[in-house]
Structure 1
Amino acid sequence: MKIKANCQIAGIGIYFPRQIVTSQELMREIKSEENFGIAENWINEVCGIDERRVASAEELPSILAIRAAENALQDSGVQPSEIDAVIFCGISREWLEPSVAHKVQHEMGCTNAICFDVSNACHGFMNGILLADNLMQCSDATHVLVVAGENLTDITFDYVAKLRNKTAEFQKVLGTLTVGDSGAAMVLTPKNKDGRGFQYYNFHTDAKHTDLCRFSTAKEGGYDGQMVMGKISSVMIRLHASIIEQTYQSLNWKNTDIDHLICHQVGQKPHIRMADMAKVSQSIAPISYKLFGNITTATIPANLYNVKPNCGEKILIAGAGSGLSISQSGLVF
């Protein structure tokens, strides 16, 4: 689905917990060499992930989102009272109802904002941007705050215990050892006449791959599911390759026009293949997985924040999430 875009980024904020847990610490904890015959540096060498951040017990999803939102509002110069809508789009949540966006709205003082949650695995933030854009096109909204807060290392440590006790299959749950906690936020506003902002969105879903990455809470406590990273990555890249020319045509861009490739990141090899898919140099595709792991919905905003693009630069954004959903969009910063 190709959708005309009409919004731009007024501000971006990110937040990372202080605690660092290395990949070798996790592998040592599951006794990877003894239990599975896999070296302790396997995640470092094969996935390219050295460490990740882990939220404290007090850093609930809403708190991570609020910390990032404070930074985004400061970056944008927008006051909380000027926010017309708050959209929380993380995977993690501290309750089933009400929406986590309600807590963000209240704590941030966004008293004039409507609020709701949207969830679509790691692709949630791109869906949040799309909904914010559509909201601005069909209403008088001028400032929308899109936020996410992820403490998915809860799943990590549940599976560390399972792997240590050899009650889980390493290859099927490897992905649980690669995620990291974070918060991310964007303030979005309608495009100005200078044309900067999002240009087009190209969204696609192939739901027959739902079973490759799925998690639910188990009746006996903890989590039940699998994250088959090799297959997920292969499908993700194949789907992106199938629509990339369509995206370039809609944007009227060539691969040589791209200044930055900002894409979802699950590890080293898929990241390299994503650059190849877009026919761009790996040097323009910033890396977050090495020090932060797979930061799920926060990946796109975190990498945009760290790149700090120059005014007028062209950015290709490639999102993805289990299910499997992908998107490609062009952004003129």
Structure 2
Amino acid sequence: MTMTRFESIGVYLPEQEVTTRELIDSMDTEPMFDLEKLTGVKSRRWRAPHEDCHSLALEAIERCLVNSRYEADEIDVIICTSITRFKDGLKFVLEPCLSSYLKKRLGMREDALNFDITNACAGMFTGVHVLDQMIKSGVVRNGLIVSGECITPISETALKEINNPVDEQFASLTVGDSGAAVLMDQSPSDDEGVEFLELLTLSQFSDFCYGMPSDKNPGVAMYTKAMEIHATVIQRLPQTLGHFAEKYQVSGADFAHVIPHQTSERAIRSALALCSESLGDIPNICVSLDRYGNTSSTSHFVVLNDHIQQGHIQPGQRILMLVLASGIVLGVASVRIGNLTGAH
């Protein structure tokens, strides 16, 4: 069966940069650890007052379409995978859905499909999985997946509420705002495309991370049991990757790069080091969280775009996408990159 491919991508990053040091200096309670050293996050992008999930997503789509051969009225479906749903400031809007708003703003055809999916930080690759099957089954010819993550409001809540050195809101200080979009269609050759993609949810650990309205202040908060998540992933990731490696007859040596979800550089490298027995030699690990932080559901495409722009990732290279998310979600995707042009 012919593969689908990433026909074009677009990433938008707000102009304002905020350093980890600036955040820590603004707090009454400092962590009992060096947050920057532990996570590798030195700075992140922060939304402007006029920006929200809708505008971040729209900016990313516009950059994606600049790189695409398709016009907006030629797209058959738009899928929004944002965790956050802020519009007009900090108003959290569930209906009408974000994809409906974007479809109208872009001038897409009336008969084009639109829907939203949320799956924590695995959202965009959940959208990729669904769209991949829609294209292969002939339901649509192409489609657009987009996420506008206006997620720094959880940082603002954390700055107000953290009151002990091991508070569960410290992970909220690692996030950054962004928008990412990817347009997919049927691959014209075997030289580029999504070779395989699988996601596994370990729902018994869903209580390790919650996003909800704060019970202390107006706004949204995230409570994360970071140590428990790390221990669970460390324990299960090697076996999970080993299963996928055996199923698809691949090893680390078959890939030029691995792009993991961007949480903590120390955690990423330690987890992948443990996977060497089941996966073999680990390829070059692509990390951009030192400058952008954890951009949640957009992270793989922010990193892909960044490393294409820097010339590290070249057309024809095979990339292992390592999907990790609260839930807990573990997954892998093998993607052979075509002639993409990074744009942000």
Is this a same-fold pair by TM over 0.5? Answer: yes
Identity, in percent, stands at 24
Q: 2:85 aligns with which of 79, 93, 98?
A: 93
- Check whether the contact 1:5–1:133 (CA below 8 A) recurs between aligned residues: no
Deviates more, 1:247-256 or 1:111-120: 247-256
- Check whether the contact 2:193–2:336 (CA below 8 A) recurs between aligned residues: yes
- Check whether the contact 2:41–2:292 (CA below 8 A) recurs between aligned residues: yes
Deviates more, 1:179-188 or 1:262-271: 262-271
Q: CA deviation at 1:239?
A: 3.0
SS in 2 for 1:170: coil
2:245 aligned partner: 248
Note closer, same or farther for the CA distance 1:114–1:169 as it changes in structure 2 (3 Å cut): farther
CA distance in 2: counterparts of 1:230 and 1:289, whole angstroms: 19
SS in 2 for 1:59: coil
Deviates more, 1:201-210 or 1:244-253: 244-253
2:183 aligned partner: 187
AA paired with 2:94? L
Greater helix share, structure number: 1
Q: Deviations over 1:233-265 (max 9, x none)?
A: 232343322221222233332211110101101
Q: 1:58 aligns with which of 50, 57, 79?
A: 50
AA paired with 1:202? E
State whether structure 2 residue 258 is matched by structure 1 residue 258: no
CA distance in 2: counterparts of 1:149 and 1:317, whole angstroms: 20
Matches within 5 A, 1:1-333: 6-33=3-30, 38=32, 42-94=34-86, 95-111=93-109, 112-163=111-162, 166=163, 170-218=166-214, 221-279=218-276, 284-308=284-308, 309-333=313-337
Note closer, same or farther for the CA distance 1:123–1:136 as it changes in structure 2 (3 Å cut): same
CA distance in 2: counterparts of 1:222 and 1:194, whole angstroms: 47
Q: Deviations over 1:91-144 (max 9, x none)?
A: 010311011011111222222521110001111111010011111122341221
- Check whether the contact 2:79–2:127 (CA below 8 A) recurs between aligned residues: yes
CA distance in 1: counterparts of 2:210 and 2:300, whole angstroms: 21
CA distance in 2: counterparts of 1:318 and 1:255, whole angstroms: 12
Q: CA deviation at 1:50?
A: 0.6
Runs of 4+ in 1 over 4 A off after TM superposition: 280-283
- Check whether the contact 1:200–1:250 (CA below 8 A) recurs between aligned residues: no
Note closer, same or farther for the CA distance 1:187–1:237 as it changes in structure 2 (3 Å cut): farther
SS in 1 for 2:223: strand
CA distance in 1: counterparts of 2:292 and 2:209, whole angstroms: 20
CA distance in 2: counterparts of 1:76 and 1:250, whole angstroms: 34
Note closer, same or farther for the CA distance 1:187–1:316 as it changes in structure 2 (3 Å cut): same
CA distance in 2: counterparts of 1:194 and 1:102, whole angstroms: 34
CA distance in 2: counterparts of 1:229 and 1:115, whole angstroms: 34
Q: CA deviation at 1:178?
A: 0.6
- Check whether the contact 1:275–1:285 (CA below 8 A) recurs between aligned residues: no
The runs of 5 or more residues in structure 1 that have no matched partner are: none
AA paired with 1:318? L
CA distance in 2: counterparts of 1:287 and 1:198, whole angstroms: 21
- Check whether the contact 2:13–2:178 (CA below 8 A) recurs between aligned residues: yes
Q: CA deviation at 1:294?
A: 0.6
Note closer, same or farther for the CA distance 1:78–1:237 as it changes in structure 2 (3 Å cut): farther
SS in 1 for 2:243: helix
Q: CA deviation at 1:223?
A: 3.3
Q: Deviations over 1:163-212 (max 9, x none)?
A: 2xx2x663411101111100001001122342521111121111111111
Q: Deviations over 1:287-333 (max 9, x none)?
A: 11101111101111111112223232111111111111121111122
Deviates more, 1:221-230 or 1:289-298: 221-230
AA paired with 1:91? I
**What is the aligned length?**
322
AA paired with 1:297? S
AA paired with 1:99? C
The runs of 5 or more residues in structure 2 that have no matched partner are: 87-92, 338-344
